[in-house]
Structure 1
Amino acid sequence: MRSTTTGTARLTKTHKLSAIGVTVAMSAAAVALAVTPGQADTPSIAAKPVAWTTTDLGAHDHIAQQSEKTAQQAKTATKAKTDAAAAKAKADAAAAKKKADAAAKAKSDKARADQQAASRSQARTPVKPAAPAKPAPAAPVKKAYADNLDGWIKESLDILKSKNIPATYDGIKRNVMRESTGNPRAINDWDINAANGVPSKGLLQIIDPTFKAYHVEGTSWDPYDPVANITASCNYAADKYGSMDNVNSAY
């Protein structure tokens, strides 16, 4: 707070420097007047000190303060404007990014929806049901035959029939009984064939060369085998006599 008494106001550094400058200037002027040539005899005039009032000093201080305040306000306004511009730029960038992200998501969602729609509408090849597995053919049931003359004749007749070789049960049995009396191991060791080293063998007394020549596929190669002996003998009789039924003696 300033005193209103003349000459006792508290000065700032700036005011003090200004006052000193004025005092020095006044003193120099007084000296100059005192020593001016041609006026040596003129009595010197003492300079009257300038009186400074607290009112003048206060006005000067107020101007300085106003200037400083204005500068500070300008600085604050500039900073506020810069901050506002930065905030707006940041907000604009965030809004642009959000918009771009939304557009990208919408595009991706549409592409995915289009792909799914295309997949659903795509023609599908009907699946052909697998054909039911065919059951494995049943193994043929082998017919059972009795292991005796009746069974041997019946099995031979089935084989002969499958080969289209004519013969009958009665024709076969009649010749078997005449040739071997039903003995599958019978052998003739006294006739001409025996003398030639090829005795007649088996149920229908067939020699080895004839048995081999008229052997029927699917039967044994043993001439003493009852079924093989009957089928080979019937095959030979059919070739030579038309059928075993036509044989009534040695053949």
Structure 2
Amino acid sequence: MAGPSTAERGERQKLESGPPRPPLVGRLRRLRRLIILLFALVLAGAAAVWILYGSPWFRTERVSVSGTRVLTAAQVREAAGVPVGSPLVSVDTDAIEARLLKELPRIDSVEVVRSWPHGIGLNVTERTPVLIIGKGAKFVEVDAGGVRFATVPDAPKGVPVLELAVPRSGAPSRFPADRLVREAVRIAGDIPARVARDTRTVKVRSYDAVSLELSGGRTVEWGSAEKGPAKARTLLALMKADSGARHFDVSAPTAPASSGS
């Protein structure tokens, strides 16, 4: 049997060797284009870094403050310590937030934002006192979380005074003072708005013996902080039903009582 012809052997060799390789010049051309592209990317990256960090176009020039009520903008700026003149992109916003919360306990939260191309914004939320505690001739403000955040010379208007009247003699109390303060804060948050405006003192004798002293010599026996919303509704109904009463007891909201003297 005759072997493959010369033409057949040539075709077989072409198939085995694959498609013809591109000439060397073409490969060099593509390599040169790749090098140029990489070089352009490096230059673009270097230019971007210089624009953000080295140019005068994106420097920190101003610090704006919003949301303050008691604090001044100057106090917030000073405590923030924003590095004016530094590249805006390099300002550590987390560090600024941490400094503000540490230096100004009146601040409950703060949002530090970059305002391109030259500003830093400090959006402050201050704590709101729900109770105050007498401390000599001054007052300590307590917020809704039970945090004692500031000492002020004058009592804030419309904020009840917390009076801890826990007996000092005999066996120690089951609940520490901080726990009693937190319970009083819970109660202050449940007092109906109509009654809260007239509340002068929240008096704590024990965990389950808390009373309110209102304007006009009226009092409310509240009891513990449990079932606060139910006690609030009961108190409003009781005051409406017996508007001339001076003493109200909602410590057991299902069995309230009131009296005129």
TM-score range, shorter chain: under 0.3
Structure with the greater alpha carbon radius of gyration: 1
TM-score (norm 2): 0.18
- Name the structure, 1 or 2, with higher relative contact order (CA <8 Å, separation 6+): 1
The structure with more strand, counted as a fraction of residues: 2
TM-score (norm 1): 0.18
The structure with more helix, counted as a fraction of residues: 1
